[in-house]
Amino acid sequence: MAAGPRVLYHATGGGLGHGMRVLALARQLSRRLGGRHVIVVNTPFAAALTEVARREPGVELIVAGGDWDRLVALLWQQVCLCPDLWVIDTLPRGVVGELVPLLEGWSGCPRVLIARPLKPAYVREYDIAAWVQCHYDLVLVPGERGPLAELDRALLLPPFLIRDREELPSCEEALDLVQAHEPVVLVAGSGSEEECRQWCVEGGRMAANWPSGAPPLRVAVPPGVAVEARLLIRHMPLIECMPAVRLLVGSAGYHLVHEARFAGVPGLFRPRRRQYDDQAGRLLAGEVAGADLPAQALECLSRPAPARTETVNGAALAAERIADVLLRVNRRRRTPDRT
Amino acid sequence: VFACARCGKRVCPQHAWPLAADTFACVSCAHERDYYDAADTDNDSDPYFYAADYRSRSGFTETADPKDFQQGDRAALAEDEGGGWEDDAGGS
């Protein structure tokens, strides 16, 4: 058995974001503490997450399928293995409320919530702030303030990223990843398989009238997504391509937007409707993609690139804080109770 | 469908303004002072009564503003807050 703690992560929900955020944290914790880091996901993009996780020692993915009963049974199985810490992403009650019976009926280890913002109506209708106050020990706010950022136990942090700045490849290495000789305009598919296909079509439209002197176009989709497109790349994690990207085009998901800002790459993003995530609220005025995307992209390329955000990876800071919590808990466990 | 207690016009439930004792007024009649005061509803947030509010202040003309909010603007003004929480395992 690996030395170090056993940490259970819960990242149910569609898309790549939930899994990527906990992977970003898990790899930082694994470096600091060793141990086993078990991530439960139910996304159709599990193949892409597996591609990232297989490079991280001590980190493993469990892909949950089936109905609510099977999901709860799987979680009971995991909590019966007595994790030292439970980290839950974004949805404090689980995407279909699967965490409610566990968090109310079991208190075997500290619980940490990664609190990407939720829509205010959900927070209000389900009294989420009170729920979190009652059932969580620490709330990590990863770069975007939502209703839960006001809680006493909230810790405000920069965005969680899957790579630290010093881990990003050089421009030359990144050019190999995007299969080009000069930095590219990257159209990135994410969100759902259907949205990936839509971005492939959009990339094809852009390529049809793309000026010969402009930076080359590439279309990126996560591994495992069944699409065919010209100029296609499938590298994961996408942030490793950023040093070779002149302009990023895609949906306004958490990671695409923050990875572009982190790397100083201008972005044109199209907000998509999500049940819990307000993608439009994430964007600055100049980042919103319009109807004439090719013209807007060329105009954007004629301007100087924005300065990159000089923040460190929030996942690294969170890991420091959690390691401190875990160590304190473990120390307390080792100290005999004298009363 | 209701009948306006003042003018008898037939109005749908969405455009019928409740008065006392199970009676209703159409929007036009509800704008008149007696009915407006009697209406058992909070008119401050209703687009139909924004005009009634600003017309009562000094400095504004009595002519209707063609750019004013109308019933058709209700959907555009409503916040997109979603719903169906915790029903979809693919929500995000």
* Helix A293-301 vs helix A193-208: crossing angle, to nearest 10: 70
Q: Is the dihedral of CA A204, A205, A211, A214 positive or negative?
A: negative
A101-139 burial: b if 16+ Cβ within 10 Å, else e: ebbeeeeebbbbbbbbbbbeebbeebebbebbeebbebb
pLDDT level of residue B73 (50, 70, 90 thresholds): low
| pLDDT (0 to 100) of residue A168 | 96
Q: Find residues 21-80 of chain B whose CB sits inside 8 Å of chain A.
A: 79-80
Tell me the HSE value of A203 on the side-chain side, using a 13 A CA sphere.
30
**Tens digits of per-residue pLDDT, B14-70?**
777 777 677 888 877 777 655 555 454 555 555 565 544 444 444 444 455 555 555
Chain A residues touching B78 at Cβ < 8 A: none
Return the axis-axis angle of helices A17-33 and A46-53, rounded to nearest 10°. Answer: 20
For an interface test with B, the pick among A74, A95, A126, A195 (most B C-beta atoms closer than 10 Å) comes out as A95
pLDDT in tens, A50-88: 999 999 999 999 999 877 888 888 898 888 888 999 999
Interchain proximity B89–A274, CB inside 8 Å: no
Instruction: Provide the β-strand partners of residue B41.
Output: none
- Give the residue from A96, A118, A126, A190 with the most B CB atoms within 10 Å of its CB, the best one to mutate: A96
A323 pLDDT above the threshold of 80:
yes
- Nearest neighbour of A17 by CB, restricted to B79, B90, B92: B92
- The structure's pTM equals 0.80
Does any CB of chain A come closer than 8 Å to the CB of residue B87? yes
Instruction: Report the distance separating Cα A245 and Cα A85, nearest Å.
Output: 38
ipTM of model: 0.84
Count of alpha carbons within 13 Å of A55, Cβ hemisphere only? Answer: 11
Q: What is the pLDDT of residues A105-127, one digit of tens each?
A: 887 889 999 999 999 999 999 99
Least confident stretch, A37-51, A204-218, B49-63: B49-63
Mean pLDDT of the B70-85 span: 62
What tokens were used for B74?
């209700």
State what percent of residues in chain A have pLDDT above 90: 79
Name which of B81, B87, B88 is nearest A119 (Cβ-Cβ): B81
Mean pLDDT across chain A: 92
Given a cut of 70, is residue B79 above it in pLDDT? no
Contacts of A277 in chain B (CB under 8 A): 92
Residues in chain B with CB shorter than 8 Å from the CB of A120 are: 81
**pLDDT 10s digits, A221-240:** 999 999 888 899 999 999 99
- DSSP-derived pairing of the beta strands A85-89 and A59-63: unpaired
Contacts of A90 in chain B (CB under 8 A): 92
Which one of B79, B80, B85, B87 would you mutate to disrupt binding with A, by most A Cβ within 10 Å of its Cβ? Answer: B85
Q: CA A22: distance to chain centroid?
A: 7
Q: Helix (H, G, I), strand (E, B), or coil: what is residue A42?
A: coil
pLDDT of residue A65: 81
Query: Considering only A32-41, A291-300, B55-64, which range has the smallest mean pLDDT?
Result: B55-64
Among A119, A127, A274, A282, pick the best mutation site for testing chain B contact (most B Cβ within 10 A).
A119
Q: Within an 8 Å CB–CB cutoff, is residue B92 touching chain A? A: yes
Q: Do the chains contact at B84 and A13, CB–CB below 8 Å?
A: no
- Nearest residue, CB atoms, A12 vs list B80, B87, B89: B89
Q: Which residues of A touch B88 (CB under 8 A)?
A: 14, 95-96, 275
Of A43, A90, A96, the CB nearest to B86: A96
Q: Which residue of B has its CA nearest to A279?
A: B92
Q: What is the mean pLDDT of residues A197-223?
A: 95
